[in-house]
Amino acid sequence: MTVGEMREIMRRRVVPEDLVPQNVIGLLMDDEENAAPPELDAFTFLTRLRALGIGSADFMYLMEGCEAPQAVVDKIRNNPAMNLQGLILTLENSELTADDYKRILYTARQIWERTLTIRLEKSEMVLQGDDEPREDYSEPTFEEVMDELGQMRDDAPEGDDISGYEEFKAAFVTEELAPPIEVTSELEPVNEYPEEETPVEEEPVEGEVTEEVSVEEEIVETVPVEEMVVEDIVEETPVEEAFDGKTTDDEEEDQDAPDEYLEFAEYTDRSEDDQPVYTEEIEPVKPYNGDTTAIVQIDAEMLRQNLALLAEDEQAAVRAEAAKLAAEQAQQEAREAYEAARAEEAEKKAISKDIPEEPDKGLPEDDEKPDDKKKREPFVVRIPNEHPYHKGAIITAAAGAAVVFGASFGVTLIPEPPVIRSITYAEDNAAIFNEIYYSYYDNVVGGEKAHEPTFDYNKIFGDLLVTADGFGTFSEGDNVYTVTSEAVSASVFRGGTLTETEEIHPPEGTRIVDAFDENGALVAVFSGTDDCGFMRISGGKTLFTVRQDGFITDFEYKDGDILIGSVYTPRFTRTFGIQDSMIYMPRLGVDEKNALEPQSVIPSGTKGYSYGISAAYSVSNGAVRKSVAVLGNPISASTDGRFILSGEEDMLMTVGPEEITAVKVEGIQLAAFCDNGSATYEGGNIILRDRNGDVTFTIANPAQAVTAMWFDGDLLRLSGANGVFITMDCSDFASPKVAELKTVGGAVIGENAVIFGKGANSLTISHYKLENGASSLVNTYKKALAPELLSTLEFGGINTVIADGVRFGAGYRYFDGVSVISEYAVMEDSGQVYPVKELFDDRTGFMLAFKHNGNIYAQCGGGIVDILN
Amino acid sequence: MDKKEYRETVSMAANGDAKAFSRLYEMISREMYYTAFYSLADDADAIEAVSGTIRDGFKAVGRLRSEAAFRVFMMKTLFARIKMRLREYGSEDVLDEEQPEIKYRLFELDGVDRICTVMYIAGKFTIEDISAFSGLMKGNVKKRLNKSVNILELDQIY
């Protein structure tokens, strides 16, 4: 079915009578009659006053000025330590009505607007060079504003208070109440972060940057839909559910369209591109003393058997030596056969000028004669099946060496000692091309058993498994980057405003799998089916992109270099000849890929035309330090030039820097590398082998079928249907142990980790450092919080985390039964605690935090907050 | 509806003229209903979602200075209402027996994927539109649409 057909079917549906435009009139009329504005209560009244920046002194003026009962005024004045709850009770028990609240709010609103106007006027005078005394360039006093207001009132026609409220109320819902005010960017920010302020838009006008302050957008809470979204969902979503786990459809949805619990939509008439979407994911925080990974049973019997086999291997050392000699001899024969084949083909090529044909138009039938095949062979170079190269080189060149040895001498292949031979690189493109030709001809692709590690945002930090919701926020000068698997969002922080400038995507078909700060620049590593590599980003732009064919099987950042192992299967989409090396050779390079030289490619002898590629690049300029590839049927490629391949007879080929080790294996399914050696998943068991190919340990019958495995340093991570189910510490390759990782929520930033947790009556934010591979606690910020509030506590996410080795901090939020309170706490490693910044019912809470000129700033729904000052 | 006419109609609607508002609503009434009907399991839920959105729109129409803004407001509100309703469904996001065949296929999709797909196919909205309505990034909308195409086994969607 096409989209058009489906559309046609769907649009056949008849709109019900109730929703026909003519019939909704009745619906709206009924509503209008029944509609009644919600009454203001004391809490809402105080919240709105706070949003208007009314302090305690001003509040008293307002109360008296608006003729609040003297008893209330006195009670508040005489109790300076009265808390919010006390204030609410006092107001509620007073004679103040909702109309009184409206009147006071109306006055407060006028004060706020006049404050703004006076400041702007003064600022303009200063900018225009008026002889205004410098000390007058300050915020007007409350008395000053009240005086002006009094004058305005005197000038204004008489009217009752409620009509004034109506005008005020209209300001909430009518955009045209106040036209945008233009101020130059040289002014200090007009609005010093009132919680409910909408961030100003910045538009450069012929070299002069201006800001538009949309006064009327400030109070969005009165928009009916928003009330519905926030309040209804707060009611509907149990706080425990919001805390305990994600309930959204999938991870992607979380990133962009989070839990409605905190979804605040601002409905304005701005263009769609400008529409801010106040959404934020609330990642549930896992308890600090959380789960440990599952323990798999190690089959002791199997272990004993393997040790016995190893002992037998040692006794068979003499046989192995003989095998090695035989393999070398076979290789020499293959080499001679290969040379003969090349000479013969060179002769043929000199004669033949045929145009290559489409190679994938269908494979010849088995019963076709060789002559028929020849007629349809698409490649320029033609080597018939009966050619000595095919029979000799293919079989004996590599893995076949062991097979030939076994067949000739009648040695039992299980357990077979490793067969070692020296590395032979391809001499020219023809050698590679011929290998590919025969694999393609036989429809053996290779690479099917290769798997990417399970990339996610979680990181291991010593004995902690830190779960995160992104790669974090990075800052560099004025530039701020937020990284997710989809893209790097680059913003610039200028004039107190954070403006998104660009969204940097990895190459098509890839996603970001890691990101870190490197000497001030951001490095984002990416991987996809056909492409992997890294981008260096600085100044808000991509400086260069290193690209390598295939998907990542191993990755390491070490000594200023990025090392990548990948597995790649070329996709032949058109006819190609030996000269089209860009089509069939492995490729890598900076910004654009170039084919590797054949002298860097090892024909493994295993059947298949896939490549394992291992390369190292300078992280500063992307220069290729070294590169090597192996052709055949790769399963995994390491960062340091080792490969695991599957041969025709389940041979595990480990290609090292100087030699190839071939081992007979049983049904290899997965493979991974670490410094000590390799791990393979064979016949339901995990086999560890050292760099010589000798089995050191067997993990028999893991608790689940393994779908992916990879090393994180010395930690072997096994992933099943439901994700990682066991982590083994393989630092001692002969005696691996189950690594007991504590699952915690937080962020890993280089050598620092900030962990968010909950105690019985407090929240904690802890700073850890990595010391000799272990996580070491530096300091912990602690805040007492009642259990009922703790149950609603949510961590602000990795983007809010700051850890620079001196200070650490993070955002969080909780619901106190009336309001969502967002806070940002910062503590120095020395123990000094900065005052907590808090927001009430902010649309988004703290979304991200970044460093700038030694300060820490955080972005929230109301704009940017200076955290330290 | 040209700008002048729109402004006049909005002005009337903002002053409580339900008939004027119904003219504005008419511009997107079918798209709204299709989106709600094919995204939600129950027809009554769809009607409720659209009705609620109409009420919200009537209250807010005075603030919406352009036709585009009106459309974004209405669809954005509808999107939020549908998502809320889907959340209420929880694991009971299943259809009863008397539904069009095409709806069963659509219910093979996840909630938000389904809303985006319905908006794209039945509502004829662009990816940019859906991005504005849903708050999702354009790339994310594309990805969801591609996923839906594969599940629904449709020809390429764009």
Which tops the pLDDT comparison, A587 or A241?
Answer: A587
Q: Which chain A residues in 279-298 lie under 8 Å from chain B, judged by CB atoms?
A: 279
Q: Output the CA angle A863-A242-A752, nearest 5 degrees.
A: 60
Asked if residue A172 belongs to a domain, the reply is yes
- In this prediction, residue A203 carries a pLDDT of 38
- In this prediction, residue A39 carries a pLDDT of 61
Asked if residue A177 belongs to a domain, the reply is yes
| Domain co-membership, A91 together with A163 | yes
Write out pLDDT tens, residues A184-235: 333 333 333 333 333 333 333 333 333 333 333 333 333 333 333 333 333 3
| Domain co-membership, A858 together with A758 | yes
**CATH number of the domain residue B9 falls in:** 1.20.140
Q: What is the CA radius of gyration of chain A?
A: 35
Average of per-residue pLDDT across A381-389: 28
Peptide bond into A415 cis (omega under 30): yes
Which tops the pLDDT comparison, A351 or A32?
Answer: A32
Q: How far B115 CA lies from chain A's nearest CA (Å)?
A: 12
φ/ψ of residue B154, rounded to 5: -95, 165
Given a cut of 90, whether residue A800 has pLDDT beyond it is yes
Task: Return the DSSP state at A95.
Answer: S
Asked if residue B158 belongs to a domain, the reply is no
Asked if residue A536 belongs to a domain, the reply is no
**Host domain of residue A401:** 313-420
Of A42-51, A287-296, A621-630, least confident by mean pLDDT is A287-296
Asked if residue B73 belongs to a domain, the reply is yes
Q: Taking CA atoms, what residue in A is nearest to B22? A: A21
Inter-helix orientation angle B29-39/B67-89, to 10°: 20
Nearest to A13 among B25, B37, B58 (CB): B37
Average of per-residue pLDDT across A368-386: 33
| Domain co-membership, A54 together with A164 | yes
Of A8-22, A157-171, A443-457, A820-834, least confident by mean pLDDT is A157-171
Structure tokens at A659: 């030699």
Given a cut of 70, whether residue B10 has pLDDT beyond it is yes
- In this prediction, residue A200 carries a pLDDT of 37
Measured between CB atoms, does B99 come within 8 Å of chain A? no
Asked if residue B102 belongs to a domain, the reply is yes
- In this prediction, residue A145 carries a pLDDT of 47
Given a cut of 80, whether residue A657 has pLDDT beyond it is no
**Host domain of residue B141:** 3-152
What does the longest C-alpha to C-alpha distance in chain A come to?
Answer: 115
Which tops the pLDDT comparison, A851 or A230?
Answer: A851
Measured between CB atoms, does A271 come within 8 Å of chain B? yes
- In this prediction, residue A336 carries a pLDDT of 56
Average of per-residue pLDDT across B87-111: 81
Length of chain A (residues): 869
Contact B121 A486 (CB under 8 A): no
| Domain co-membership, A358 together with A409 | yes
Asked if residue B97 belongs to a domain, the reply is yes
| Domain co-membership, A771 together with A859 | yes
Given a cut of 50, whether residue A250 has pLDDT beyond it is no
Nearest to A263 among B80, B100, B122 (CB): B80
At residue A56, what is the residue type? S
Note the pTM of the prediction, 2 decimals: 0.49
Domain count, chain B: 1
| Domain co-membership, A48 together with A180 | yes
Q: Taking CA atoms, what residue in A is nearest to B29? A: A21
Asked if residue A660 belongs to a domain, the reply is no
Q: Taking CA atoms, what residue in A is nearest to B129? A: A272
Nearest to A19 among B50, B77, B143 (CB): B50
pLDDT band at A396 (very low <50, low <70, confident <90, very high): very low
Contact list, B73 vs chain A (CB under 8 Å) = 267
Measured between CB atoms, does B28 come within 8 Å of chain A? no
Of A654-663, A836-845, B66-75, least confident by mean pLDDT is A654-663
| Domain co-membership, A101 together with A228 | no
Which range, A46-60, A149-163, A351-365, is most confident? Answer: A46-60
The residue whose two tokens read 């080790």 is: A661
Average of per-residue pLDDT across A28-49: 65
Closest alpha carbon to B78 in B122, B31, B38, B36: B36
Of A86-90, A275-279, A612-616, A700-704, least confident by mean pLDDT is A275-279
- In this prediction, residue A164 carries a pLDDT of 38
- In this prediction, residue A264 carries a pLDDT of 28
Domain count, chain A: 4
Inter-helix orientation angle A142-155/A56-65, to 10°: 30
Asked if residue A414 belongs to a domain, the reply is yes
* DSSP code string of B73-124: HHHHHHHHHHHHHHHHHGGG----SSS-HHHHHHTTS-HHHHHHHHHHHTS-
Last residue of a domain, one of A187, A210, A238: A187
Asked if residue A833 belongs to a domain, the reply is yes
Structure tokens at A853: 């000129």
- In this prediction, residue A321 carries a pLDDT of 56
pLDDT averaged over every residue in chain A: 70
Write out pLDDT tens, residues A605-653: 888 999 999 999 999 999 999 999 999 999 999 998 888 888 766 677 7
Which tops the pLDDT comparison, A443 or A188?
Answer: A443
Q: Taking CA atoms, what residue in B is nearest to A261? A: B84
Contact list, B18 vs chain A (CB under 8 Å) = 24-26, 28-29, 32
Asked if residue B157 belongs to a domain, the reply is no
Q: Which chain B residues in 38-97 lie under 8 Å from chain A, judged by CB atoms?
A: 38, 43, 47, 50-52, 54-56, 58-60, 62-66, 68-69, 72-73, 76-77, 80-81, 83-84, 87-88
